[in-house]
Structures are given as structure tokens and as C-alpha cells.
Amino acid sequence: MPAVLLATLDTKGTEAAFLRDRLVACGVPCLLVDTGCLGSPTVVPDVTRDEFYSYGPKTLSDLQRAGVRGEAISAAEIAAQRFIETYLANGELLAVAGLGGSAGTTIASAALRALPLGLPKLLVSTLASGQTRPFIRDKDIVLFNPVVDIAGLNRISREVLSSAAEALAGMVRFRRELPRPAPPAERPLLGATMFGVTTPCVQVAREALEQAGFEVLVFHATGAGGQALESLVRDGQLAGVLDLTTTELADDLVGGVLSAGPDRLTAAGAAGIPQVISVGALDMVNFGPFETVPPRFAGRLFHRHNANVTLMRTTPEECRALGEEIGRKAAAARGPVHILFPARGISALDAPGQPFDSPEARIALREGLQATAGKVPVELLDLHINDREFAQAAARILESWLGR
């Protein structure tokens, strides 16, 4: 079985060949795949671009005649995913690596995201020190920052590419030679969502569910965390969801930086698995440093969590809209759903004496839920979300549905 290295060999041929040769020197057989389209390859690949693009929606000759770079990149993304899925289905993959700038990163990351968790995946990208979430999403991809542009071999690029090859070789070697610890006896797998301001709640609920015989995966509700939860549910990995921290919906509605997209809170309902839902941290929208907050939010209530994180309080009108969205999504679920509402506060910042305390906003949020939830129960508890009793109530409901 080989590793696969994806790169546009018209612009990154010399560097890709160096990385391949270093992998081979480290004991990892490697297929170099040419994902380039419009220019001429500068080195000989193991898989030609003609073969590569045969996996995509358009042939190489069609794309070359059109001569549109964006169209070629989009076609290459699809080809990369299908190419890797074919090799994966045939049991022919040790690892997958990619190399490139914006185009190469876009193409290679599509292939890497098609791989299962645990299979070694590495990307040397000039975008590695920037906003990488669109490329990584919910996968365990190792990113290497080349420091200099991938434009020729020099004393910096050789060091970085050698380190990347050695890292990937290490993952491959030790995956083979050192069997991983056996997992504990098979237990139903649950997903739970948590933010810093709902940590006490989720910790108590997690401990209760683990004592009841479940294994609990906790997802940090930073956008990518919510996407990972939804992805695992769609893949059939989870038996139930304790979705107590739905804060990503606020970022999606208002325009914060931690949105998980409009499909958040839909996978469990579509799969028909039990879910307990709450409104954790819907009192806030997330931004970076204060100076990065869009000017349209001037005059709003902010809390500077630290130098890099600024939180903005959601208004009663926004809270009502969020409640209505959660209610609609819960009502559409095919499986059992229970909504728990903490009347005394929905995050550590939404409590008496804290900067986001707002009974008016909580009432609007609850009314929004009740307006659209239909037959789904919206249970009001005279507790704060971080009260131990609230967490225990949530765990009990989910446990009762799953019959442990």
C-alpha cells in the first residue's frame, strides 16, 4: 500500500518530488499525483493529470480548452475526492499528503476530508498560518506551514518539507508497529456540546452518563465542533446527543465568527436518534479582537473575554428568532426530543451580577421556542444552566431513552 501525494506539478513539481523522495527515504512508498491542469508538469508523476481528471466531472482536455482557472480547481476538488475514495475502498492507502498554495490546498484538502479519522493526513500549505477552517472542517488533518512560499528549494523549504515527510512517516510507521491501546468494552457513544461558559453543566452531565455506561464525546461549540458533531451523527456514529450548548446558532444568525452553518441542529433529528436540547450560550455572539467587530454593531453590549475574543450580547429580538429556529428544527425531528430551558440563566455570563444577565432576553428566547416547537416539550426549570441539578436532569432524560 502506498501513501499518496497530491500536488499541481506545473507550479510545485520540484518541491513535490522532493517531498515524495523524502517519504520514500523514510520507508514510505509514495504515489505522486499531478493535480495541475493549465500549465505543463515540470516532473514526471506516478499518476498523470489525464488519469486524475478522469475521476472528475470534466476531462482534462475540456478544462484546458476552456482555460478557466476557477473551473479547473472546482473540477479538481471533485476528482481528488473521488480518486482518494476509490483507493480507500480498495484498501490501498497508507496515508495522504498534499502540497500547495491556495489552489493546491483547496484541491488536496478535498481529498483529505474524504478520509476516515485516524488515517494519517498531512498538508503543507502556504495558508497554514491563516484562517484554515474552510480546509480542515471536521477532520484530523496535520498542517505544516512552509514559512516561505513554495517556490523552489532552499535551506528553509528543504527543512520544512523534510520535517513534513518525517512526521507523516512517523504516523505511518507507529500506526503499524505500535498497536494502539484497546478501547474499553463497547459502550454506546453520545455527543455533547460545550463552551467555556457552560463547562460546569456539561462536565456533570458527562460524568453522570459515563457512570451509566455511555461513552461521551464533548464537542467545543466553536463552529468546527458543531460541524464535527453533525458529521458524526450523519455517519451513524452516535446513539444520542446532549446538545446543551447551541451557541453556534447565534453566530450564524447574527454574523459572528463561530458559526457552524445553517444545518447545525439537524443531523440528529434526521437520523431519528434521541436528543436533549438546551440554549447554552445563546446570550452571546463571538468575534475576534475588539477592533475587528463590524461597525454595524456599534452601541451593542460587549464583554472582552480576552485580547483575542470579544463577546456581544444577543438582543431579545435575536433571542426570539433563535428560539423559533431551535423549535422548528426540534419539531422536524424523527426521534425523541426534549428541550430543557434554564430560567435563571443560560451561560456563566447570563447570571445575576454578570454582564449579560437579561431576564427579558431569556423570556423572548423561551417564547420563541414555545411558538414553534409543536409537540416537543419545552420544560422550564427554575435553575441556572450551570446548576448541578440542571445537568443531572438533562442526563437522566437522555439515559431513560437509551435504556441503560
Rounded distance between C-alpha atoms, residue 302 and residue 380, angstroms: 28
pLDDT single digits (tens) 345-391: 999 999 999 999 999 999 999 999 999 999 999 999 999 999 999 99
**Count: domains in the chain:** 2
pLDDT at 209 over 70: yes
Rounded distance between C-alpha atoms, residue 338 and residue 73, angstroms: 44
Rounded distance between C-alpha atoms, residue 400 and residue 336, angstroms: 11
Same domain, residue pair 215 and 335: yes
Average pLDDT, the chain: 95
pLDDT single digits (tens) 242-266: 999 999 999 999 999 999 999 999 9
Q: Average pLDDT for residues 153-164, to the nearest whole number?
A: 96
Which strands form 378-381's sheet, in the order they lie side by side?
215-220, 189-194, 240-243, 275-277, 337-342, 378-381
183 domain-assigned: no
Rounded distance between C-alpha atoms, residue 318 and residue 368, angstroms: 10
Q: Average pLDDT for residues 327-341, to the nearest whole number?
A: 98
Same domain, residue pair 166 and 90: yes
CA atoms within 13 A on the CB side of 245: 33
Q: How confident is the model at residue 175 (pLDDT cuts 50, 70, 90)?
A: confident
Q: Average pLDDT for residues 18-38, to the nearest whole number?
A: 96
User: What is the structure's pLDDT at 137?
Assistant: 86
Residue at which a domain ends, from 144, 177, 210: 177
Cell numbers describing residue 371 = 411558538
Same domain, residue pair 169 and 211: no
Interior CA angle at 362 toward 358 and 365, to 5°?
Answer: 140
CATH for 371? 3.40.50.12030
113 domain-assigned: yes
pTM equals 0.82
User: What is the structure's pLDDT at 133?
Assistant: 85
Q: Measured on CA atoms in the order 200, 202, 207, 211, is the torsion positive or negative?
A: positive
Quickly count: other Cβ atoms within 10 Å of residue 31's Cβ: 17
Q: How confident is the model at residue 179 (pLDDT cuts 50, 70, 90)?
A: confident
182 domain-assigned: no
Residue at which a domain ends, from 146, 177, 208: 177
Same domain, residue pair 98 and 52: yes
184 domain-assigned: no
330 domain-assigned: yes
Same domain, residue pair 108 and 193: no
Q: How confident is the model at residue 183 (pLDDT cuts 50, 70, 90)?
A: low
Strands 240-243 and 275-277: what pairing? parallel
**Percent of the chain that is helix, strand, coil (3-state, to 5):** 45, 15, 40
User: What is the structure's pLDDT at 404?
Assistant: 57
Lowest mean pLDDT among 18-22, 117-121, 240-244, 374-378: 117-121
Residue closest to 228 by CA, chosen among 266, 276, 260: 260
Same domain, residue pair 200 and 166: no
Same domain, residue pair 153 and 274: no
Same domain, residue pair 119 and 202: no
Q: How confident is the model at residue 185 (pLDDT cuts 50, 70, 90)?
A: low
Strands 142-144 and 121-125: what pairing? parallel
Rounded distance between C-alpha atoms, residue 245 and residue 360, angstroms: 20
110 domain-assigned: yes
CATH for 61? 3.40.50.12020
132-155 burial by CB neighbour count: b if 16+ within 10 A, else e?
beebbbbbebbbbebeeebeeeee
Same domain, residue pair 89 and 68: yes
Residue at which a domain ends, from 157, 177, 197: 177
383 domain-assigned: yes
Same domain, residue pair 285 and 320: yes
Same domain, residue pair 106 and 198: no
pLDDT single digits (tens) 267-299: 999 999 999 999 999 999 999 999 999 999 999
Residue closest to 324 by CA, chosen among 245, 271, 249, 254: 249
Same domain, residue pair 222 and 140: no
User: Which residue segment(s) compose the domain that 193 sits in?
Assistant: 189-402
Quickly count: other Cβ atoms within 10 Å of residue 40's Cβ: 9
Interior CA angle at 200 toward 196 and 205, to 5°?
Answer: 120
169 conformational bin, left if phi > 0, alpha if psi -120 to 50, beta if neither = alpha
125 domain-assigned: yes
